[in-house]
Structure 1
Amino acid sequence: MIPKLMQSITLPVARAEASRRQFLLGALAAGTGVAIGYRILSASPALAGEAATESGSHAFSPYLTIGGDGKVTVLSSQFEMGQGSYNGIATLVAEELDSDWSAIDVIGAAGNIKAYGNIAFGGTMQGTGGSTSMSTSWERYRRAGAAARAMLVAAAAAEWGVDAAEIAVENGVLSHPSGKSGGFGAFAAKAATMPVPADVKLKEPGDWKLIGNDELKRFDSARKANGTEQYTIDVKLPGMLTAVMIHPPLFGAKAKSFDASAARAIKGVVDVVETPRGIAVVGEHMWAAIKGREAVTVEWDETGAEKRGTPELMSTYRDLAGKSPAAFARKDGDTDAAFTSAAKVIEATFEFPYLAHAALEPLNAVARRNDDGTIEIWGGHQLPDVYQNLASEIAGVPVEKVRLNVMKTGGSFGRRAVFDGDVVVEAVHVAKALGFRAPVKVQWTREEDTRAGRYRPAYVHRLKAGIDEAGKLVAWSDHIVGQSIMAKTAWDGMVQNGVDPTSVEGANNLPYAIANQTVGLTTTDVRVPVLWWRSVGSTHTAFAAEAFLDEVAEAAGRDPLEFRLSMLEPDSRHATVLKLAAEKAEWQKPLPEGRFRGVAVAESFGSVVAQIAEVSVDGDGIKVERVVAAVDCGLAINPDQVRAQVEGGIGFGLSAILGEEITLTDGKVDQGNFDMYTPLRIDAMPKVEVHIVASANPPSGIGEPGVPPIGPAVANAAFKALGKRIRVMPFAKSLNA
């Protein structure tokens, strides 16, 4: 839902143009290789952005380059944060290029909407999100690989004086029946002078060697395992300073005055400067900056700051949930009449707390001004066009003078896709305050990331269902109360008729045949900063709907799996994954004593995932022993990666439902580190089985869809184990109540 809606959003983004020659040569202007780019919509050459910088950066080239050494470097429009987008895109290119998998690499690219605009977002902006990396890359990067292959073949044919149709390409080597052969590197320079084909023929699925290959391992696994992979936290530049921030303790507060005299006296502290987002303490290294921060005193203006705590906020939410919704996202049939005539009416209220993203690598960015006046920024650029424009405004330079180095990032889960630039803006502000005399890395600590970050909004759902004498679900209503992610941001236009789609997705598109249903929304006004979080709205809507559906099935005296299937078309995607999961989990077979099952299914980001969880009783709580998942994500480019993402999504979702929550006391966040904000520990991770539905449809999302079903599946199993419905998250709060 979110990618489709974002197609209507137009942001002020940089649009760099270039000549055809720049397009062809890209970063390899010296003629030692070939650079190639394609636009999917027209299958015609895309214009490249800037040619390479003197440092050899490939950041503004189009889709791939081939060096004289035969190395293939793919320039990814998508941001890599651990989800495997680089690997998937490399697979698409290498498949059509017939390159050597061991000679391929991927780097992030930015600065060219025509080449890198996310097709799922309408092509008007570059961005990674909504689990769209493979769908936006699917045809575009295959065409780029096929075009580069054709140009290499043409170069070899011209040099050998043979018919191009007689040349074979395999594993990075071109060969001819005459015995002539050569690697990509031998023809890269000549290929750069060849015409870019106006159209190319892509391989038929039966000819694929890499796409769908279950044995293909990630090209970057070794350097991630041996610690040589580089992230923003690893960036070290000559003369670089490190800054830590002092953010307001209350959301919405501002600095009134500060005293940094004691901090400036600490060895290694270079300066203390004020920015629009707080006070920055700058040191020669991280330790000096942290010690300096401890010595700064700040007086805050708390006028207009959020001072309510979690108890007050949730009490307000519960009261609102019991009233009529302020807006409606869905109205089908006549629910009032259906409830009146129903044989039985069931009601329940579900509560969801604020959640932190808690990525492994806390927020960071590096900014410097180069001798030529360009502003160069290293960071996890999830929305690069937005950050490029913000940096140009702060630094007072044209957007084409802002160069982004798109770094790999140790997790994001939506956290680095921010409307206001966040840490990127801080880095440029601090560097500017220092007169750009040195590169500056702004590095947040874990505590800062937890207490001054952005959060999955807190929500309350008030659900009501009616069943008839035959046990059929005839009426359904869901009133959702919570903050809007989109309102009062650059994406405000997505809020239509009082409904933010991120608040209701997963609730207003239930797959079940229910003639009478309403989904209402009441949006609250709270100063706590919120943001999308892995699976966005479906993180709470799927739980509320699928857990409540089990309560309805129980009231109707029906098996929860059969109850769901009775409301689905037999050949629908939802029914297919439910039946596959049930088959693999042996739903009809009795479990050993002390084991209990629960089921749930959810659609998000174009994919449908069903999960069956097995739990056991562990003291006063439960232990998740096993999860069987079935997923329909269209064609699986990298099946092993699909399984990994579903497994990771299950762990991520379990973290949220079992113990994670952000709470506030008088407006201040209580949690600071992993001692109080408690992600899943390794010994609590269940055995997971992932079964992929075979599909010829184009790939859909996989980074997020594994998260939504796990919560309700476990909650439904927990009810059978403990005889208690879990309606307040996290589980620990409900079970101890």
Structure 2
Amino acid sequence: MSGPNKISRRRFILSGAAVAGALVVGWGVMPPRQRLNGSHPLPVTGGALALNGWVSIAIDGTVTVAMPRSEMGQGVHTALPMLVAEELDVPLSRVRIAQAPIDKIFGNIAMLKDGLPFHPDDTGRLKAVVSWTVGKVARELGLIITGGSSSVKDAWEPMREAGATARAQLVAAASRYWNAQAADCRTEDGHVIHADGRRLGYGALVTLAVTSAPGEVRLKSPDQFKLIGRPQPRRDTPSKVNGMAMFGIDARPPGMLYAALHMSPVIGGTVSSIDAAAALKMPGVVKVVDFSAALPAQTGAGAGVAVIASSYWQAKQAASALQIKWSDGPHAGLSSAAIYADLAARLDAESGHAYYKAGDMEAVEGRAPGVAKTVKAEYRAPYLAHAAMEPVNCTAQVKDGKVHLWVPTQSPGFAVEVAAKVGGVSAADVMLEVTLLGGGFGRRLDVDMVAQAVAIARQADGRPVQLIWSREEDMTHDVYRPAALARFSATLDAAGNVLGYDNKSAGGSIAHQFFKRNLGLPAGGPDKTTAEGEFDMQYHFANQRITHVIVDSAVPLGYWRSVGHSHNAFFKESFIDELAHAAGKDSVEFRRGLLLQHPRHLAVLNAAVARAGVAPAGRAHGVALHQSFGTIVAQVAEVSVDGAEIRVHRVVCAVDCGIAVNPNIIAQQVESAVVFGLSAALFGNVTIKDGKVEQTNFHDYPVLRMNQAPEVETIIMPSAAHPEGMGEPATPPIAPAVANAIFKLTGKRLRSLPLTL
């Protein structure tokens, strides 16, 4: 089966849950679960009244919005309240946030739907049916997750609907109170205003509004927006400046103890024996705990030993005094060299799963020798750690048959489930407080630290315990961005036109490991993240084939900012530059010729190139264009080379992310993503030797310093389309943009990350 709008039968088997759900008699024709009102009333305080599952209003007019997404620097505590405030016609300054309860209406539907391995150009009934079905399953699952650059995208409709419905109830209440027509009332600045000038504040109306039917609920059109699309200051900035912001590591429940741990230095190793005598004699030490046996096997939590003490310093010092013998297990001989050799061997031996096919590649490959030119290349990317500034931590208390958690997590639902399992209680007996996250980048989607903290707290006689991983434990026991290998082969005719494009890659599956760890699901089937950014590219080739070989990984894998796009963009955009060079064409003009069917992509590319201008003497411009999480990004990196030093001076980044809810936050996310991606492009490299991660801290896993950071200019393309992701899309293009500039400067084609001369 071929053609750009056709899909293989294998790709239809996208999800066991989705397929099973679609076959349930009657279920498939039922309307999707609503997302306005939860299974239980919205918790309120201070006499406020809930108008739906998202919005409550106090008698002083203060609006409180349920917040189902975690703030880790991406600005959701500002952007999401803007959606409600816009439709409710209330000043943003009057809106407060409260942690959303664990309820299915807060589940992240957009993130799961985005995981479907469809090409953006796929059309037709199959895509629509599968997308609808998976969306319906996602509503039933109700997984509360912050990730996939999906927070605004997912909240765009339900949170605006919640605000608009509450507004309609307040209008209905005012019309009842005045015995007037609702059509004669409008709203502004937290008030309902009658045509004759009478006005009532929302606080005065809320009691009556609770019992008022909303009537017709209409969402605003973009031309009616007063708040959305206008720059707003971040609401979390003041507390972060004055020190009042509470991150996980700031939790201080009364009577709290601290815990430091050691986990096996070898991947998958276990505790053999412990001599704790010296540690138990040290000041402040309360207990030494081997928590290994208390951890459910599928959580992925590392086996180890913890010291509970009165202060973290005392716990850490005592942990260093422990005499632990480890059983290394089956991975003691694992090495990076062996891993890459295995990836290469699997590429040689296996055809892999075809994520996308178009045209007739077999005919292109069968052309007579000498008729066309073939370009081949192999690219490589390493494992990467998350290295968030706030190290892994969790505070837990197990007392009186209940578990209390204070944790910076991207997955509140998973945290509650694992805490209940390890704590021996029901999920209803777990109280969760989600703090600010001092960096997440996907690391805090996993809840291994929660399992460990609860297991340790069970030995603390009812006192809360704050578990903090040292930077060394954090770096050597991460869930890593997969290592990957990619091979390309393209056939060009005498005029430099691409006749056929073949891309085959190999690497581990994050989804196989993640869903086994967190949902207990068996591994199997395709994983979009392995080939995203390769099979769903924007360039038009009449004949193409993109495949991936999943290679099981002994190294634990996790979602890393921009996931598969983070390395696949480097592979793809670097090879596109290679093709332009082989065709004797300018790299920008070459791309323009491949984008005639994608005017939005072409506009983004042109905007970035025009703003970048001409590179100064001694520098070169490298270009990359990539779409991820629904957002199109073009980057131009201005680079110089001095000996072996690569210096990026300026990055121009044009983005088309649909409606820009808050342009300020978009620019911040672009700057953050560029610096994050540039750190990985220039320095990021996790290596394995004798089954151990070799990098232990920032001395051998460096990040970009302030004096190395480039100037970043952001261009936000005007759009009235549905908003797309913005937390991650500016990360993937930076590595290839820099690599392509280096080629212009040196003639060296760098095909491995990190980029080194």
TM-score by length of 2: 0.86
Q: What is the distance in 1 between the residues matched to 2:547 and 2:107? A: 37
User: How big is the shift at 1:385?
Assistant: 2.0
Shift of 1:521: 2.4
User: What do the CA deviations read for 1:556-613 (whole angstroms, capped 9, x no partner)?
Assistant: 1011111112122255332221122222223xxx433212111111111111111111
Note if 1:279 corresponds to 2:305: yes
Q: Distance in 2 between matches of 1:44 and 1:364?
A: 32
Q: 2:278 aligns with which of 259, 262, 269?
A: 262
- Equivalence for 2:260: 244
For the pair 1:610 / 2:628, whether they are aligned, the reply is no
CA deviations on 1:461-519 (whole Å, 9 max, x unpaired) are 1222211111011122222122121225536979765x322111111122222233222
Change (3 A) 1:494 1:709: farther
Q: How does 1:142-153 map to 2 (within 5 A)?
A: 142-153=160-171
CA distance change for structure 1 residues 48 and 286 in 2, over 3 Å: closer, same or farther?
same
Deviation at 1:360, TM superposition (A): 1.6
Matched to 1:405, the amino acid is: E
Q: Which residue of 579, 582, 588 maps to 1:552?
A: 579
Alignment of 1:332-347 (within 5 A): 332-341=358-367, 343-347=372-376
Matched, 1:312 2:338: yes
Which amino acid in 2 is paired with 1:354?
Y
1:75 aligns with 2:66: yes
Residue identity in the other structure for 1:432: R
Which residue does 1:359 correspond to in 2? 388
Aligned counterpart for 1:388 among listed residues 416, 423, 426: 416
What amino acid is the match of 1:679?
V
Q: Does the aligned pair in 2 maintain the 1:624–1:714 contact within 8 Å?
A: yes
Find the partner of 1:645 among 661, 669, 691. 669
Counterpart AA for 2:712: V
Q: Does 1:140 align with 2:168?
A: no
Q: How far apart in 1 are the matches of 2:705 and 2:510?
A: 29
Shift of 1:162: 4.9
TM-aligned CA distance change 1:251 to 1:328, over 3 Å: same
- Asked if 2 retains the 8 angstrom alpha-carbon contact of 1:272 and 1:281, the reply is yes
The aligned residue for residue 595 of structure 2 is 568
Note if contact 1:358-1:450 (Cα within 8 Å) is conserved in structure 2.
yes
Q: Residue 105 of structure 2 aligns with which residue?
A: 114
Q: Whole-Å Cα distance in 1 between the matches of residues 437 and 521 of structure 2?
A: 30
Alpha carbons 1:154, 1:194 under 8 Å: kept: no
Alignment CA distance shift 1:330-1:119 (3 Å): closer
CA contact (8 A) 1:650 1:710 kept: yes
SS at match of 2:667: helix
Secondary structure of residue in 2 paired with 1:558: coil
Q: Deviations over 1:313-342 (max 9, x none)?
A: 223334444454444333444435424535
Q: Counterparts of 1:5 and 1:448 in 2: how far apart (Å)? A: 39
Verify: 1:402 aligned to 2:420, yes or no.
Answer: no
Q: Equivalents in 2 of 1:479, 1:119: separation in Å?
A: 28
- Is 1:348 aligned to residue 348 of structure 2? no
Asked if the contact 2:510/2:558 (under 8 Å) is kept, the reply is yes
1:88 alignment partner AA = A
Separation in 2 of the partners of 1:196 and 1:286?
Answer: 55
Task: Tell me the C-alpha RMSD between the 2 structures.
Answer: 2.8
Decide which moves more: 702-711 or 108-117.
108-117
* In structure 1, C-alpha distance between the alignment counterparts of 2:473 and 2:548, rounded to whole Å: 32
Name the CA distance, whole Å, in 1 between partners of 2:732 and 2:96. Answer: 33
Report the CA distance shift for 1:8/1:581 in structure 2 as closer, same or farther (over 3 A).
farther
User: What CA distance in whole angstroms lies between the structure 1 residues aligned with 2:522 and 2:47?
Assistant: 40
Q: Distance in 1 between matches of 2:55 and 2:558?
A: 33
Judged with a 3 Å threshold, the aligned counterparts in structure 2 of structure 1 residues 543 and 119 are, in CA distance, closer, same or farther, namely closer
Structure 1: which 5+ runs fail to align? 12-39
Matches within 5 A, 1:132-531: 132-159=150-177, 162-176=180-194, 180-191=198-209, 193-195=210-212, 197=214, 199-213=216-230, 215-276=231-292, 277-341=303-367, 343-369=372-398, 371=400, 373-418=401-446, 421-435=447-461, 437-490=462-515, 497=525, 499-531=526-558
CA distance in 2, matches of 1:486, 1:57: 41
Cα offset for 1:450?
0.6
Q: Is the 8 A contact 2:507 2:550 kept in 1?
A: yes
The change in CA–CA distance for 1:53 and 1:640 in structure 2 (over 3 A counts) is: closer
Amino acid at match of 1:428: V
Equivalent AA in structure 2 for residue 343 of structure 1: A
Relative to structure 1, the CA distance from residue 455 to residue 168 in structure 2 (aligned partners, 3 Å threshold; closer, same or farther) is same
- 1:72-92 deviations in Å (ceiling 9; x for gaps): 221112221111122111110
Greater helix percent: which structure? 2
The structure 2 residue matched to 1:583, chosen from 600, 610, 615, is 610
Count, aligned residues: 692
Unpaired stretches in structure 2, ≥5 consecutive residues? 1-11, 20-30, 113-137, 293-302
* Aligned CA distance change for structure 1 residues 114 and 286 (closer, same or farther; 3 Å): same
Conservation of the 8 A alpha-carbon contact between 1:487 and 1:495: yes
Asked if 2 retains the 8 angstrom alpha-carbon contact of 1:105 and 1:219, the reply is no
Q: Could you tell me how far apart the structure 2 residues matched to 1:6 and 1:366 are?
A: 37
Distance 1:494 1:254 in 2: 23
Displacement of 1:456 in angstroms is 0.4
Give CA-to-partner distance per residue, 1:330-361, whole Å, 9 cap, x none: 34444354245352111211111111111121
**Whole-angstrom CA distance in 2 between matches of 1:291 and 1:56:** 48
Closer, same or farther in 2 for the Cα pair 1:287/1:417, shift >3 Å?
same
Q: What corresponds to 1:32 in structure 2?
A: none
Q: Is 1:109–1:405's contact at 8 Å kept on the other side of the alignment?
A: no
Q: Deviations over 1:356-403 (max 9, x none)?
A: 1111211111222455x4322121232222222222222222222222
Residue deviations 1:106-140, cap 9 Å, x none?
23323111344535432222212111111110011
Is the Cα contact below 8 Å between 2:409 and 2:437 reproduced in 1? no
Change (3 A) 1:197 1:522: same
C-alpha distance in 2, partners of 1:566/1:465? Answer: 16
Within 2, Cα distance between the matches of 1:655 and 1:9?
38
- Give the 3 Å change call, closer, same or farther, for CA 47–683 of structure 1 in structure 2: same
What letter matches 2:247 in structure 1? Answer: Y
Q: In the superposition, relative to structure 1, how do residues 52 and 201 fare at CA in structure 2: closer, same or farther (>3 Å)?
A: closer
2:746 to 704, 722, 726: 722
Whole-angstrom CA distance in 2 between matches of 1:362 and 1:496: 32
Change (3 A) 1:400 1:637: same
Whether contact under 8 Å (2:276, 2:322) holds in the other structure is yes
Deviations 1:113-170 (A, max 9, x none): 1344535432222212111111110011111112222333344444555554444432
CA contact (8 A) 1:359 1:412 kept: yes
Asked if structure 1 preserves the Cα contact closer than 8 Å seen for 2:47 and 2:58, the reply is no
Asked if the contact 2:35/2:105 (under 8 Å) is kept, the reply is no
The structural deviation recorded for 1:638 is 0.9
Q: Provide the residue aligned with 1:127 in structure 2.
A: 145
Matched, 1:596 2:620: yes
Identical positions, percent: 39
> Alpha-carbon deviation of 1:628?
1.4
